[in-house]
Amino acid sequence: MADDDVVEVGCWVDGSGIRAEAVGTIHDDQLRLMQTVKLYERLGVRAILERSRALAIEALTIHPLVGSYPLAEKLVDAFLAAHRDLVGEWG
């Protein structure tokens, strides 16, 4: 993971503050999944900032639960059509 990646970890919260739980060793297959989802997140953020339909489709194509260009294209187009009044036109 990159130094500036944000990840969720378990933690303890009590009167002395918040303490993250140690993660320990991450197996290669789990790390690859985490890196893939992080890439999806980075591309998704870029898609929003640049209002880029192509980047949004690329992001969803990379996501392990989508993984298909035709499905990603349908999902992005449906989202943009349903929320056009909120997100405007995307290139």
**37 in a domain, yes or no?**
yes
Is 72 contained in some domain?
yes
The count of structural domains within the chain is: 1
Is residue 78 assigned to a domain?
yes
In a domain, 14, yes or no: no
Per-residue pLDDT at 52 exceeds 90: yes
Instruction: Provide the residue range defining the domain that includes 46.
Output: 26-87
Task: Read off the pLDDT band of 64 (50, 70, 90).
Answer: very high
Burial of 38 (0-12, 13-18, 19+ CB in 10 A): middle
pLDDT at 10 (0 to 100): 94
Determine the Cα angle at 68 with ends 63 and 70, to 5°. 130
Confidence of residue 7 (pLDDT cuts 50, 70, 90): confident
